[in-house]
Structure 1
Amino acid sequence: MNRWLLALPLAVFGIGGIGLYILFLSQANENAFQENLLPELIGFCLEGFFLVGLFTFIQQLRDYYRRRELWMSLRSALRDFLSHLDLAFLAPDAEPATTAALESEPFVVSKLLTLLADAELGIETLINLKQAAVSTLPLARDLINIAAQLSTRHMRCWIAIVAAIDQLSVADTREQAERPLNELLVRLAEFDSLKL
């Protein structure tokens, strides 16, 4: 609905300018009033069309960047989890993923999901993940309202992520830790797939 309201002035100025231009061409030599007024009206319509279009584009661009910043703030809250998992599955001669990749690249999450399904995590990694869950849980809960600003689907995914972090923070056995960890990654992959 919002896009249609933004496109309405563009349509009015565009159709008005085209209509006045056709009127100018069909009656160009009838009188001096039309010769002086119609070009001015056509110029006004063209200016309105380009100015409204330009301001609409700038507003949409600003809105996209604001939503992208909100998304990045949510994703960066989970950097510790992804970092611990990345290090746990790291080959001896491989480089760990960069901070930027951990915070913004969806392929990292899908890669970790695949590795988690194929391998078993060590006890030290599980302890580190539980500690990360305990320290991240209050921040993740506070960020629910940020996720709600993106969309209802983003908020639902984030609530499921917070629930998985909560379960991981109280886990006492390997099974209790691996189930919410897998759920966290699945929900994070779903969160990444949603449009901004």
Structure 2
Amino acid sequence: MRTTLITFGLIILSGLGFAQDIKDLDFISPFKDGLAAVQRDGNWGFVDESGTLVINFRNDVAILPGEDKDKSKYPYFKEDRCLIQKIEKGIPFYGFIDKSGKIVIEPVYINATNFKDGMAVVSELTKESLGTNDLLDKRVVNYSFTEIAIDKSGKLLYFLTDPQHVTLDKKYLRKLPKIKSTVLSESLIAIPSKTTKNWTIMKLQK
């Protein structure tokens, strides 16, 4: 009888909407795109506006400067996508998760912007084999990156810049190659000139 009463009481409490609190948080961000980032022990999760932890704590989300006047740094969603990063040999590679926490774009880019008007600009890495150094008995490779625009599934939409050489070594790659192309609207992207400080507005064909 006692067990029955306890079970019945738990059912009533559940029906009244009692939920477990999320405790011992080190940081709580403002809500962006319907979710707020929460930090615990160096890992990040996301809660919705009901206070439910919808993405469990993880260590691969990318930390970004807050927008507007918010100078704090935390991960956030924009257009249902959040940047993640994977470190390989000391070099970060970027991709995206959706609001379920699923990786929808693998972390293969050496830099990336947030999405705007359905597009993100990413730096795509290309590896070219140049042969073998007989003296050192090592393969010689050349790395370059190109700025491209992708959609929310990771599909290539547009090539934006010519390939640029990059040394893929953490001793030399002290800063990520800065992304210069900017999404202005769903039909316009600003692209920097190859040789001057001027810009070109690229009209997109849908």
Question: Structure 1-normalised TM-score?
Answer: 0.22
Q: Which has the higher helix share?
A: 1
Q: Which has the higher strand share?
A: 2
Rg larger in structure: 1
Structure with the larger RCO, 1 or 2 (CA within 8 Å, 6+ apart): 1
Question: Structure 2-normalised TM-score?
Answer: 0.21
